[in-house]
Copies of this chain bind each other. A is one copy, B any other.
Amino acid sequence: MSDTVVVGLDVGGTSTRATALTLTGERLGTGRAGGGNPTSHGAEKAATELLKALRGALADVDPTRVAAGTIGLAGAARLLAEPAGRQAFDQAWRDAGLRCPYDVHGDALVAYASGTASPDGTVLIAGTGAIAARVCALRLDRVADGHGWLLGDAGSGFWLGREAVRRLLADLDSGRAPGPLAVAVLTELLGSAEVSARPRDTVDRLIQAVTRRPPVELARLAPLVVAAALDDEPVAAGLIDEAAAHLAESATRIRPPGAVSPVVLGGGLLTGDTPLATAVRAEVGRRWPDAWVFSAGDGAAAAAWLAALSLPEVTDPAALHALLVPPTA
């Protein structure tokens, strides 16, 4: 059984990670490459990064030993719907020397599986966008939000960035002196925290600075909110609490009251010990007091675990999860 190798890939918008593991949990190799999300980069580019990451993971592995593989990526359904995308991925898979089949899953399912082996539960993700999904028998079932910045993504990095600017604009409208978060946002957007003698001039310059770029780039201000919240800045702390309430509300759309299945928190704003993760854990604890909450971990390892579940020799998925996927908080 230790001869059997599985491969997992976690394809994100900014990086692609691959890992090759034996069923005893031995890590034979890992690979990294640039962003490979076919939605944002095109299938050809995505397949190129996929192959690069795969070659890194398989540098010291005979690829014919690999028995199964899984690719987790955002927009998985769209990739599978387009023959050209599927063909580009097939080609990369063959070029890496792999002879086994592979599955493609949504990144939300892979994030979920990186936090728990439970077949049923909820995954809540906040990065640039925000989405909640119900997982049943390790398949994505119903989804809430993920509606994009114009209509949704409540509690996401975009949302935090936009709200930080809105609070700053309200301060300027009211003639209040900007607080620490407002000063950080002013400095980031205008290069200086100075407010014009007519504050409306600063308002106009801020609006121009924001509208010059694609709206989704407001998400780049989210780290300022997180940093300020870590310093107990009151406006930032309030925004983090509001964002957590929005995320928990999205989860309630697809998670029944009293549910005890696990909740996995993923995405850049919720993975690990972040202020938003702490606030979301509190919200989840209030609504589902008997549920375990886990942080998403190694997505590539979770994808490898999902791949292994298709093998006949795997009889105890939870035990295998403990071997393959590094534990998280």
Name which residue of chain B comes closest to A249, CB basis: B170
In chain A, positions 94-117 with a C-beta closer than 8 Å to chain B are none
Q: With an 8 A cutoff between CB atoms, is A65 at the interface? A: no
Residues on B with C-beta less than 8 A from A203 are: 147
Quick check: is A165 within 8 A (CB to CB) of the other chain?
yes
Q: Which of A152, A173, A174, A253 has the most CB of B within 10 A?
A: A173
Output the nearest chain B residue to A163 by Cβ-Cβ distance: B151
Does A174 lie within 8 Å of B211, measured CB to CB?
Answer: no
Q: Are B210 and A174 in contact (CB under 8 A)?
A: no
CA–CA, A203 and B145, complex, Å: 9
Tell whether, in the assembled complex, residue B147 and residue A169 are in contact, meaning their CB atoms are under 8 Å apart.
yes
Q: Does A27 contact B (CB under 8 A)?
A: no
List A215-254 residues whose CB lies under 8 Å from chain B: 215, 250, 253-254
A322 proximal to B (CB < 8 A): no
A143–B210 CA distance with the chains assembled, in angstroms: 19
Closest to A144 in B: B173
**A139-185 interface (Cβ within 8 A of B):** 142-145, 147-148, 150-152, 162, 165-166, 169-170, 173-175
Write out the residue numbers on chain B whose beta carbons fall within 8 Å of the beta carbon of A207. 147-148, 151
Residue pair A142, B173 in contact (C-beta under 8 Å): yes
Q: A143, B173: Cβ atoms under 8 Å?
A: yes
